[in-house]
Chain A
Amino acid sequence: MDAGYITPFVKSIQNVFSTMLQLPVTVLDPAIKQGNSPSHDVSGIIGMSGDVKGSVILSFKLDAAESIVALFCGERMDPDHADFADAIGELVNMVCGGAKAMFTDKKRVSISCPSVIVGKDHGVCLPSDVPCVLIPCSTDCGEFVIEVAIRENAAANKAAEQAAANA
């Protein structure tokens, strides 16, 4: 994966958390994910399609997710509450939206509506042909990771090049 796709996520996560939650995020060294570890309790997932395709996952341990959702919503809520998943979904939505805007104006990328998994020690399996970069993050509310498994869509890029050549 092009390292240029990681920096936008780092900047976006810091921007979203500082603007919406007034919560500074310390980003630790990114690493390639091995297998399906680590496991998490709460995950927000968004798909990307267009010139770049793949998935982005924001994953938390339960304590961290509860504290972050409480900060975001202004009230502590049970993880089974529908609004808990809604809040996690909106966070991953803002992180992905902010990141894709930084890729480059020439890339046309769409993001899906978010899905949220709440369940102790779950893992999220991603296609094995796309390398996944883990970005560990630390905050006063606890730690979380953002997993970025995206790649350029060769077919879409080839079509764009062909269209440019024909223009």
Chain B
Amino acid sequence: MKVMLIDDSKTMRNIQRSVLRQLGIEQIEEACDGQDALSKVGAFQPDLILVDWNMPNMDGLSFIKAFRKQDKSTPLIMVTTEAEKSRVIEAIKAGVNNYLVKPFTPDMLSQRINETIAKCSA
């Protein structure tokens, strides 16, 4: 399985990368904002994308809207500090399949990844 991590914080990408490795996922591509992700996603062809909301240059919501115009099926999990109900609804309308609010434990992230993969492959 190939996973793309999109977050402007390298610390957060490292934490997520560590959780993915514990799940046996080794093919990981990183992007530091939405623009960077759009430039890499075509070549990498991920099976799952984890995306932050607040990032410079292009935020996560703008990335999702742009990405969903070209790809309706690749599972997307938003991993963000944006916890308000209105934001969650906004993200779901834009096309995310699941949502995880920071801060999170490794178990919470693993669970969200597993349930998203199961749901999207059913």
Question: A residues within 8 Å of B by Cβ?
Answer: 15-16, 19-20, 72-74, 82-83, 86-87, 89-90, 93-94, 96-98, 100-101, 105, 108, 111, 113
Contacts and interface: CB of A to CB of B under 8 A. Distances in A.
Contact of A105 (B18, B56, B81, B86): B86
27 contacts: A19-B103, A19-B104, A72-B11, A73-B14, A74-B18, A82-B10, A83-B10, A83-B11, A86-B9, A86-B10, A87-B11, A89-B9, A90-B11, A94-B81, A94-B102, A94-B103, A97-B81, A97-B82, A98-B101, A98-B102, A98-B103, A101-B81, A101-B83, A101-B101, A105-B86, A111-B54, A113-B8
Contacts of B80: 97
Given A19-B104, A98-B103, A93 B85 contact: no
Contacts of B55: 113
Contacts of B14: 73-74
Interface string B10-22: 1110100010000
B83 to A, nearest CB: 4
Given A90-B12, A93-B102, A97-B81, 15 more contacts: A20-B104, A74-B18, A86-B10, A86-B11, A94-B81, A96-B81, A97-B83, A97-B102, A98-B101, A101-B81, A101-B83, A105-B85, A105-B86, A111-B81, A113-B55
B interface majority secondary structure: loop
Nearest to A113: B56
Nearest to B82: A97
Nearest to B55: A113
A104 to B, nearest CB: 9
Nearest to B87: A101
B84 interface: yes
List the 5 closest A-B pairs by CB distance, nearest first: A97-B81, A101-B83, A19-B103, A90-B9, A87-B11
B54 A113 contact: yes
A24 to B, nearest CB: 14
A44 to B, nearest CB: 12
Contacts, number: 59
Contacts of A97: 54, 80-83, 102
A164 to B, nearest CB: 16
B105 interface: yes
Contact of A15 (B8, B11, B56, B103): B103
- Chain A CB within 10 A, most for which of B8, B9, B55, B56: B9
A73 B11 contact: yes
Interface in B1-43: 8-12, 14, 18
B103 A93 contact: no
Contacts of B54: 93, 97, 111, 113
